[in-house]
Chain A
């Protein structure tokens, strides 16, 4: 718009405007000095200093184009100006408690013969407590909730089921200047993708993500010890999870899925055989990172298990979590006018390294490249992000050769994501759309969301999870019948 205006006015117009400005704008507009600034005149003439709040001249500081009166603090000599009262520290409460209360309701837009029409119907109270004692920080975040869509209300802390989801129960300690420790239940995240994870092998809650909970619930907690070392050369993070923490994966309980033969749901709940021996079925995750003048470089390793079921025990027909090691790297930096990121990961499927076991997922290489930018040329508070992700199955020939009857996966799964965000009304209204689109799978997952902050405590939102696909067996296509719309109301305190 500005461009157009400029063209209309033309250069002559600008020049004339500028000339006129010089002549017109500066006539008799001097502001009076605000309190706290000294008037030269008053000092030269040795007049008594003006009291705080009064200007030198009887001119309203709000009058357009007028000289401002000196603000409080400038009317008298700076050396004599008021000094700030000794900084009054706010009393720290003994225990720092914050949180929110939320109501959320959602419905399926398509008929699903195996699931309820309601996709979510919950009320949730999150209490977050923090206490600092000496060098220790204790944190406890508990979500008490009731979801009347779910029939299972007995507490399962691993899966966050029942009426209690323990999000955080940890203690952090800094034994040395160069080292941090955090032990206990905690949310862990690293990597560069936007809602795509390659080297972040901490547990995800896909069910929460799909049924319309806040995005923060995509991250499920880990029960782990995190040790971080900070050196000039690089920083090192080591996360040890003594007992495997899987994703909160799709089970058919709330979200229908492709079971290999058909779309199933409550009629075919996923039964798994999960590695669960303490200190035996453990996970190690390592990151070495360096911020080189704004370019963030990182190398990653992971030794553990596929986070969601990736195999089947043919004797019991239970899904399994085969062994997995991952080695990867990422870089993130400013690129041109925006931000660029690349990430790569080699998924070494330890139990099927030759790729000829049809009941265990093959090894993969995963690639990601992303770019995000503000577009003030188009609109204020407008951001667009784009990512291109590829999942390459290794030993594809062996996979095809040994595949039993059924739909074969593609060797390359291509996935594009688009994020568009626009803010309105002093940034109190946020409209966003995140879209996954796979040209190889021919499926789409869209996450439109509108969130309005009614005031500093209350927010309302409406959103949707839209799944669409040409085939019922593809990653997002299988969830087609779970397409839902939800509304939420959150009071934060």
Chain B
């Protein structure tokens, strides 16, 4: 039982950040007129996109419902409540740390499983690092066991969904070579080629990034035969506390036609979640105050 849950769950925690998308300063950058806008370098686009995808509002909470549909149309539901904490920018004075909106530091994430019933009260925790592998734990309530989870394999399914761990936690932007292929009236189209193709199953992936908000609207993954086999789509965006946030997204496996729809609700940013929540103490005793 332990192993089953562990692998299944291991991908989970980071996702709060990944789909809570907002524009903050990036939107301002996009508001400038087109000639200036064009001066954005590829690196700037990549960084803004990364920030918008994973780092809005210094902390946050969301309830995520994943509907997994397999190739035969069978559905399974996962419901997870997630908390996110961002490392403050150490180069900023203390008052300014929480206001900075370009710093992409380390993160801590906490995911409490509501459904399915057999994993209810299971908690998954990640300390997301930049220069090394993340630290991950899982708490199994029936055994009162705080289990450490090994997770070298980032491109494996997250809780049985079609999202990979890396899709929800964010792929390190330094792992790929980024190329601005074209700019349309709405999108920057970035082609991302892995620096080490041995570690991944794709030959490259293309991102359609909304120019005003830096939200990734679509990502297509291509295999070695240059055949598209996997697609991510943002289906719905809502304004939450001023941050445009992806509230519905879909990942499709084009080979099997299976897909997963992730819906986000009960979203709140800048709650003031203490860093101490992301410790063994609150694995054993759920942080109810911040989960509701």
Seen from chain A, the residues whose Cβ lies within 8 Å of a Cβ on chain B are 2-3, 5-6, 9, 14, 17-18, 20-22, 25-26, 30-31, 33-41, 56, 61-62, 64-65, 67-68, 70-74, 78-79, 81-84, 87-89, 92, 98, 100, 132, 137, 172, 174, 180, 186-190, 192, 214-216, 218-219, 228, 230, 235, 289, 291, 294, 296, 332, 334, 337-339, 341, 372-376, 380-383, 419, 421, 423, 425-428, 430, 432, 451, 453, 455-457, 459, 490, 492-493
* Other-chain residue from A79, A92, A492 in contact with B118 (beta carbon distance below 8 A): A492
Cα–Cα distance between A419 and B6 once the two chains are bound (Å): 13
- Which 6 residue pairs across A and B have the least CB separation, nearest first? A73-B237, A36-B237, A68-B218, A376-B153, A492-B117, A216-B142
Chain A residues, CB < 8 A from B210: 33, 37, 70, 74
Q: Are A37 and B152 in contact (CB-based, < 8 A)?
A: no
Does the CB pair B224–A5 fall under 8 Å?
yes
Taking CB as reference atom, which chain B residue is nearest A232? B276
Given A33-B186, A68-B217, A73-B244 contact (CB < 8 Å): yes
Offer 22 A-B interface pairs, CB within 8 angstroms, sorted by A: A14-B197, A22-B181, A26-B181, A31-B187, A34-B233, A64-B231, A65-B220, A70-B186, A73-B238, A74-B213, A74-B234, A172-B285, A180-B285, A187-B143, A334-B135, A374-B153, A380-B153, A383-B7, A423-B7, A451-B1, A455-B76, A490-B118
Instruction: Indicate if the CB atoms of A374 and B151 lie closer than 8 Å.
Output: yes
Q: Using a CB–CB distance below 8 Å, which chain B residues touch chain A?
A: 1-4, 6-8, 23, 27, 34, 68, 70, 74, 76-77, 115-118, 120, 127, 132-133, 135, 140, 142-146, 148-153, 155-157, 159-161, 181-182, 184-187, 189, 191, 193, 197-198, 201, 203-204, 206, 208, 210-213, 215, 217-218, 220, 222, 224, 226, 228, 231, 233-240, 244-248, 252, 254, 258, 265-268, 276, 279-281, 285, 288, 292
Nearest B residue to A457 via CB reads: B117
- The 8 Å CB contact of A68, one of B1, B204, B233, B245, is B233
The answer to whether A78 and B239 touch across the interface, beta carbons within 8 angstroms, is: yes
Point out the residue from B157, B220, B239, B244 that lies within 8 Å of A426, measured CB to CB.
B157
A30 touches B247 (CB 8 A): no
Find chain B residues with CB under 8 A from A376 CB.
152-153, 155-156
Chain A contact residues: helix, strand, loop or mixed: mixed
Taking a contact as CB atoms under 8 Å apart, the answer to whether B152 and A74 are in contact is: no
- 5 new A-B contacts at CB < 8 Å, known A36-B236, A40-B211, A187-B142: A64-B228, A235-B280, A380-B153, A427-B7, A451-B4
The answer to whether A214 and B237 touch across the interface, beta carbons within 8 angstroms, is no
**A38 CA / B214 CA spacing, docked (Å):** 11
Whether the Cβ atoms of B198 and A216 lie closer than 8 Å is: no
Partner of A78 from B23, B135, B189 at Cβ < 8 Å: B23
B181 touches A334 (CB 8 A): no
Residue of B nearest to A188 (CB): B144
Shortest distance between the CB of B4 and any CB in chain A (Å):
4
